[in-house]
Homo-oligomer: A and B are copies of this chain.
Amino acid sequence: MSLILPQKTAPSCRDAEATKSRILDAAEEEFAKNGLRGARTEAIAANTGVTKAMMYYYFSDKEGLYQAVLERAVRRRVSAMQKVDIDGEAKTALRDLISALIDEASHNQNLPAIFMYEGLQNQGRFYAQISITSVYAPIVQVLERGIETGQFRKVDPLHTAINMVGICVHYFCSAPNIKHLFPPGTDLYGPEMLEQHKKEAVELAVASVLLR
């Protein structure tokens, strides 16, 4: 019984793109957990299946890797927001935008943490180059239209958009803190809880602007 055991994750089969994306995945995980400063290149490599040296081969240094992770993350979130049709009724469009944001965070749970860290720890340095506008812009537009058409209260669209994003992401970013508020054993990332978070968030967002 002396079979040759496979490598813990995947064979090193000289596929550049595959390797790069494996590194990006592991790095995203680590940066989401610990931020740029707290992340350990060692830990990234360990979860990658390839060695630390490869990281430096493809991404020149830790910061380069971080930036690549961030760029991919922004691309994903922007694309999730832009898939939403915002040209219909303002109320529906708002509901769909909030849903999309939460669905996307539920699907890729690293993103909220990645963005939060970028602000907290990195002072939004890379955001300056990347332009986060495209994430907030659709919400702002829908709010503006809702106000014009008389469906929504006269809120400040930008502040309100920021507050709505706050509703969506705080649940994810604070999950380890707020889990103590729920019955022991509750899984905040379980399907029922995610569904309820989405429901409550969507209803709260819509109710908060809809004219009575």
Contacts and interface: CB of A to CB of B under 8 A. Distances in A.
A131 B162 contact: no
A180 B173 CA distance: 21
A127 interface: yes
A155 interface: yes
A189 to B, nearest CB: 13
A177 B212 contact: no
A1 B171 CA distance: 60
A59 interface: no
Interface residues of A, number: 61
B159 A127 contact: no
A137 to B, nearest CB: 9
Contacts of A127: 176-177, 180
B207 A119 contact: no
A29 interface: no
A171 B180 contact: no
A33 B121 contact: yes
A156 to B, nearest CB: 6
Contacts of A128: 180
Q: Which secondary structure dominates chain A's binding surface?
A: helix
Nearest to A122: B176
Contacts of A173: 116, 119-120, 173
Interface string A176-210: 11111110000000000000110011011101111
A123 B212 contact: no
A196 B113 CA distance: 26
A133 interface: yes
Given A124-B176, A163-B201, 19 more contacts: A33-B120, A37-B37, A115-B174, A118-B177, A119-B173, A120-B120, A124-B177, A132-B178, A133-B181, A136-B181, A155-B200, A159-B200, A163-B200, A163-B204, A166-B170, A204-B209, A207-B208, A207-B209, A208-B208
Interface of A: 33-38, 113, 115-125, 127-128, 131-133, 136, 153, 155-156, 158-160, 162-163, 165-171, 173-182, 196-197, 200-201, 203-205, 207-210, 212
